[in-house]
Amino acid sequence: MPFPFTLPTTSSVLLSDSFSSVTHPSLPLQVTTKRSVLKDALKKHKRLAAQSRSSHLSIVQEALTSYIPYLLTLKTASSYRDVGTERVDVEIIKPLEVEWRTTLTAALPGREAPRPKLTGIHHEVAFTFSTLAHTHVLLARSQLGLLYGSASLSPDQRTSTLAAAMKHLLEAHSILKYLLSVPSVSAARDAPMDIQPSTVSALASLALAEATLVVVSKDDPYAAAVAEDRDETNRDWMFKAPTIPKVRAHLFARICLAAAEHASQACGLLTGNATGKVDEDVVKYANDLRRTARAKAVRFLAIDTELSGKTGEALAWLRGAKKELGLASELEDGKRKGFRGLKQSWQEKREDRKIEKGGEWGMDAGRFEEARVVEMLEAKWDRENSTINVQTVPPFEPLLARLPTGREYHSPQPYEPPTIDPYTLTQLRAPPDPEDLAFRGDEEDSGGEDGYGRSNPPGAFPGAGTDYGRSATSNSYY
């Protein structure tokens, strides 16, 4: 399950204070308007309840894709380059100063993430594109969430849902890779951890790893069988057993190992940065995704071995899968036993409750769900091995030592950012009406020093914090 990113918010900025254009005087005004619409969309998204944010993501995506062409036009023209075939002269009056809320940088517990002041249009470009990538990941997350909802999906619905999620994840990967190719962004050393090149590269690797695992999930009947078994409204078990078609197990194992390699690369980039610290939830998620991908690979190798009639060796592979998950617990009659088994059951029930309430579930990167699949197969094969064909279960360590190499499935296409069409660019040559003002947004600026967002004294009426402050001529509250 993709990571539940928190979309950042930003301050209100009048770009005409920093840029002016002789050839296209309406350009700074239009960029300010488009940015204000984006600022409002992000702030409204932040205030929504967790259950309502998925339906609002399309509005945020539209605001981003409408703002990006104007932002890139302004950046290109300020670097003394032509925009397409047209010459656009933009003069920098003063360096652009913007504020973006950092959501991936480690912060003190219980406090909202800071909103540092950033100088330079390259920081604005970096935060805008990274926010668009996070939006695509959240859209993929909303699609995959349908697979774990209360209603069971038909095979065709499941396939279309997974295909849509895969498309969003690949788009997020391409956007982040494009961001790394922007020289001013990749060379920035004063940027927050959210847009540091190492963080952007790690998030690109995570998106590709998740997209690779979606390929396997599309044709993984065992995960679908476990999801149906968990669905309380499903009554198919009364009259038929779940159909488990044969899968290309060895190929799927190599694809999962490729996903594990991408997740391992992300772990190294997130933990090896000496300039700052990334939020622990992101680091833990990357590590859990690596564990889940490797466990899936080992589980598919177990399926490939069992199809060859080697039930004992297949059980050894499953024990290796539980070792990779870090959730190894002994089974007795298909049920967990011991304190570790009790703790794992409690964690899974807690995750199920998060799914029902629509909260930030999936922080384990699918580890608990994979554990259920492994234990379902282990209980089934152990019964068969004990009653029909008794085979010795060898140790799993030598098996894990000879895992095959990973195999890439995707060939991500380079991202092509949207551009202003020539007709719209020509319209910007018209001078703005002196009575027209740039749209500054309907939302208040939540990071300024003008009192918005300032904490109120205990018992104070909301918004009346300034009435309780000390006066300039008195040292008393009274």
Distances 336 to 291, 312, 326, 372 between C-alpha atoms, Å: 20, 20, 15, 11
- pLDDT value of position 260: 95
Would you list the domain boundaries of the chain?
Answer: 1-195+414-442, 238-410
The pair of structure tokens assigned to 267 is 């772990």
- DSSP assignment, residue 195? G
Statement: residue 375 has pLDDT above 70 = yes
pTM of the model: 0.84
Q: For domain 238-410, which architecture applies?
A: Alpha Horseshoe (1.25)
What average pLDDT does the segment 35-55 reach? 91
Residues contacting 174, CB < 8 A, separation 6+: 412, 413, 414, 415
Quick one: three-class SS letters along 216-277? HHHCCHHHHHHHHHHCCCCCHHHCCCCCCCCCCHHHHHHHHHHHHHHHHHHHHHHHCCCCCC
- pLDDT value of position 477: 34
The pair of structure tokens assigned to 297 is 């690979």
- pLDDT value of position 152: 67
Return the SS3 of 99. Answer: strand
What average pLDDT does the segment 444-461 reach? 47
Confidence label for 445 from pLDDT (cuts 50, 70 and 90): low
What average pLDDT does the segment 158-171 reach? 92
- pLDDT value of position 466: 46
Rg (CA), the chain: 26
Confidence label for 478 from pLDDT (cuts 50, 70 and 90): very low
Statement: residue 256 has pLDDT above 90 = yes
* Lowest-confidence segment of 48-57, 201-210, 252-261, 426-435 by average pLDDT: 426-435
Statement: residue 355 has pLDDT above 60 = no
- pLDDT value of position 271: 86
Residues 284-329 pLDDT 10s: 999 999 999 999 999 999 999 988 889 999 999 999 999 999 875 5
Return the SS3 of 17. Answer: helix
Could you give the percent of the chain with pLDDT greater than 90? 40
- pLDDT value of position 417: 92
